[in-house]
Structure 1
Amino acid sequence: MEPLRLLGASVKKGQQHSPIGMKRTERICISVPSDLLAEFDKVVMDIGYPNRSKALQDAMRAFLAELKSSKELSGMVNGAIVMIYEHGKPGLVEELLEIQHEHDGIIAATLHIHLTEEDCLEVLAVRGEARQIRELADALRVKKGVKALRAVVL
């Protein structure tokens, strides 16, 4: 699998100057599953982004804004954590269940749906301190095999 290569201006670590008014740009290299890259490239073309770099920058900003807004919440909240994960990944289901059991005081209910032969969707209805819900979402989000996770609080 070829890593996604982001093209654009780059600077070497330690370079101290950049053109006036331009922010420093770093060149990175990441690896993504080929089906995810194909879907991303289609969206990039459909929307009319000039390149992957611009689209990825927008996606990163949206991700950071979502996390920042969730970190600003406090007090008792209600909501849902929705995730899609690969149920066939060895050990993943057990890890996810262990995390859920560690946070069972804030999980009111769960819903499990088999989407495909490979993927499941799980919805956790949650009620508790915003900090606890963030911790639960973060613990689940970082597990290898969790393809997507969204925490919604109301």
Structure 2
Amino acid sequence: MSQELDRISLTLPPEMVDHLDRIIEDWDYSSRSEAVRDALRDLFAAYDWETEEGGVHHGTITLAHDHHENDIADHLQSVQHDRTGIITATQHIHISHDQCLETITVNGPRKEISELANELRSIDGVSQVKVVVVGS
């Protein structure tokens, strides 16, 4: 890592250190510091998502649905066409005879991403919606 770094101290209970060390080994982190930096990036993205009124967020909306439900494919497509300003890509996967998984890549203001997710949640046949945002 070529950037300048500040050193801080972190105090954790032994069970958290043990858990962190298992993660470092399992996920092949180069150090505790790198694992903590990774976790902090996730924390920062979640914080920014919750608190920033402005700004652009990047992420995905993933939803599971029953593709046999009342014209759900047409309904989902209609909603997505109405939101082309924030949708950059979509992926549709058949996970079983009845169930599909759709991933919608989004780029836009928090309010618009949340409105899209809520609109998708309200569609009959959609069983789960998950929004994941990542830092800039």
Q: TM class by shorter-chain length?
A: 0.5 to 0.7
| Structure-2 separation of matches of 1:71 and 1:95 | 29
Instruction: Give TM-score, length-normalised by structure 1.
Output: 0.53
Q: Alpha carbons of 1:135 and 1:98: their partners in 2 closer, same or farther (altered >3 Å)?
A: same
Q: Which has the higher contact order (CA 8 A, sep 6+)?
A: 2
Q: Name 1:36's counterpart in structure 2.
A: none
How far did 1:72 drift? 3.9
2:95 corresponds, among 115, 136, 144, to 115
For residue 137 of structure 1, the aligned residue among 84, 101, 117 is 117
The CA RMSD over aligned residues, in Å, is 1.6
**Mapping 1:1-154, distance limit 5 Å:** 72-74=51-53, 75-154=55-134
Gap runs ≥5 in structure 1:
1-68
Gaps in structure 2 of 5+ consecutive residues? 1-47
Task: Identify the structure with the greater helix proportion.
Answer: 2
1:70 and 1:143, CA in 2 relative to 1: closer, same or farther beyond 3 A?
farther
Q: Deviations over 1:123-148 (max 9, x none)?
A: 00100111110010000011110011
User: Does the 8 A contact of 1:71 with 1:134 survive in 2?
Assistant: no
Alpha-carbon separation, structure 2, partners of 1:128 and 1:141: 19
Matched length: 86
